[in-house]
Chains A and B, each alone.
Chain A
Amino acid sequence: MSTRIQYMKELEKLNHDVLEMSTEITEAIEVMSLALESCDTKLSMQLIEGDDVIDHMERSIEKYCIDLVVKEAPIASDWRRIASIMRIVSDLERIADHCSDIAGYVLKLSKGKPVIPPFQFGEMIQIMKSMVTDTITSFITLDIPMALDVVERDEFVDQLFTAAMDEICDKVKESPLDIDQYASYILINKYIERMADHAVNVAKWIPYIASGEYKI
Chain B
Amino acid sequence: MTDIHAKEQTNIKFTVESLNLFYGDFQALNDINLTIEKNEITALIGPSGCGKSTFLKTLNRMNDLEPNVTINGNIYLDSVDVNKDMDAIELRKRVSMVFQQPNPFPKSVYDNVAYGPRINGIRKKTQLDEIVERSLKQAAIWDEVKDRLHKSALGLSGGQQQRLCIARTLALEPEVILMDEPTSALDPISTMKIEDLASELKKNYTIVIVTHNMQQASRISDKTAFFLLGNLVEFDTTITLFSQPSDKRTEEYITGRFG
Give the B-binding residues of A (Cβ under 8 A).
1-4, 7, 73-80, 211-212
A78 near B255 with CB under 8 A, answer yes
For B218, the closest partner residue in chain A by CB is A75
Whether a CB of chain A sits under 8 angstroms from the CB of B254 is yes
- B242 cross-chain contacts in A, Cβ below 8 A: 75-76
Q: Given A75-B218, A76-B251, A77-B251, answer yes or no on A3-B258 (Cβ-Cβ < 8 Å).
A: yes
- B243 cross-chain contacts in A, Cβ below 8 A: 75-76, 79-80, 212
B257 near A77 with CB under 8 A, answer no
**CA–CA, A7 and B254, complex, Å:** 13
Q: Given A73-B215, A76-B254, answer yes or no on A212-B259 (Cβ-Cβ < 8 Å).
A: no
- B257 cross-chain contacts in A, Cβ below 8 A: 2-4
Q: Given A75-B242, A212-B244, answer yes or no on A7-B251 (Cβ-Cβ < 8 Å).
A: no
Give the A-binding residues of B (Cβ under 8 A).
214-215, 218, 242-245, 251, 254-259
**CA–CA, A75 and B254, complex, Å:** 7
**CA–CA, A211 and B243, complex, Å:** 9
B244 near A76 with CB under 8 A, answer yes
**CA–CA, A73 and B255, complex, Å:** 9
Return 21 A-B CB contacts under 8 Å, by A number.
A1-B258, A1-B259, A2-B258, A3-B257, A3-B258, A4-B255, A4-B256, A73-B214, A74-B255, A75-B218, A75-B242, A75-B254, A75-B255, A76-B244, A76-B245, A76-B251, A76-B254, A77-B251, A78-B255, A79-B243, A212-B243
**CA–CA, A15 and B242, complex, Å:** 22
- B259 cross-chain contacts in A, Cβ below 8 A: 1, 3
- B256 cross-chain contacts in A, Cβ below 8 A: 3-4, 7
**Apart from A3-B258, A75-B214, what are 8 other A-B pairs with CB-CB below 8 Å?**
A4-B255, A7-B256, A73-B215, A75-B243, A76-B242, A76-B243, A77-B251, A78-B255
Interface centre among A1, A3, A7, A211 (most CB of B within 10 A): A3
- A75 cross-chain contacts in B, Cβ below 8 A: 214, 218, 242-243, 254-255
- The minimal Cβ–Cβ distance linking B139 to chain A, given in whole angstroms, is 28
**CA–CA, A3 and B256, complex, Å:** 6
- B254 cross-chain contacts in A, Cβ below 8 A: 75-76
For A4, the closest partner residue in chain B by CB is B256
- B215 cross-chain contacts in A, Cβ below 8 A: 73
- B255 cross-chain contacts in A, Cβ below 8 A: 4, 74-78
- The minimal Cβ–Cβ distance linking A77 to chain B, given in whole angstroms, is 6
- A80 cross-chain contacts in B, Cβ below 8 A: 243
For A75, the closest partner residue in chain B by CB is B242
For A213, the closest partner residue in chain B by CB is B244
**CA–CA, A183 and B158, complex, Å:** 73
**CA–CA, A76 and B259, complex, Å:** 16
- A73 cross-chain contacts in B, Cβ below 8 A: 214-215
**CA–CA, A79 and B218, complex, Å:** 13
- B218 cross-chain contacts in A, Cβ below 8 A: 75
- The minimal Cβ–Cβ distance linking B3 to chain A, given in whole angstroms, is 38
- The minimal Cβ–Cβ distance linking A11 to chain B, given in whole angstroms, is 10
**CA–CA, A28 and B242, complex, Å:** 39
**CA–CA, A80 and B242, complex, Å:** 11
For A77, the closest partner residue in chain B by CB is B251
Among all A-B residue pairs, the 10 with the closest Cβ atoms: A212-B244, A4-B256, A3-B259, A75-B242, A78-B255, A76-B255, A76-B251, A3-B256, A212-B243, A76-B245
- A2 cross-chain contacts in B, Cβ below 8 A: 257-258
- A77 cross-chain contacts in B, Cβ below 8 A: 251, 255
For A11, the closest partner residue in chain B by CB is B255
For A1, the closest partner residue in chain B by CB is B258
**CA–CA, A74 and B251, complex, Å:** 11
- The minimal Cβ–Cβ distance linking A76 to chain B, given in whole angstroms, is 5
**CA–CA, A74 and B255, complex, Å:** 7
Interface centre among B244, B245, B254 (most CB of A within 10 A): B244
**CA–CA, A3 and B252, complex, Å:** 10
- A3 cross-chain contacts in B, Cβ below 8 A: 256-259
For B215, the closest partner residue in chain A by CB is A73
**CA–CA, A76 and B251, complex, Å:** 7
**CA–CA, A165 and B251, complex, Å:** 50
- The minimal Cβ–Cβ distance linking A194 to chain B, given in whole angstroms, is 31
For A78, the closest partner residue in chain B by CB is B255
**CA–CA, A49 and B215, complex, Å:** 45
- The minimal Cβ–Cβ distance linking B213 to chain A, given in whole angstroms, is 11
**CA–CA, A212 and B244, complex, Å:** 6
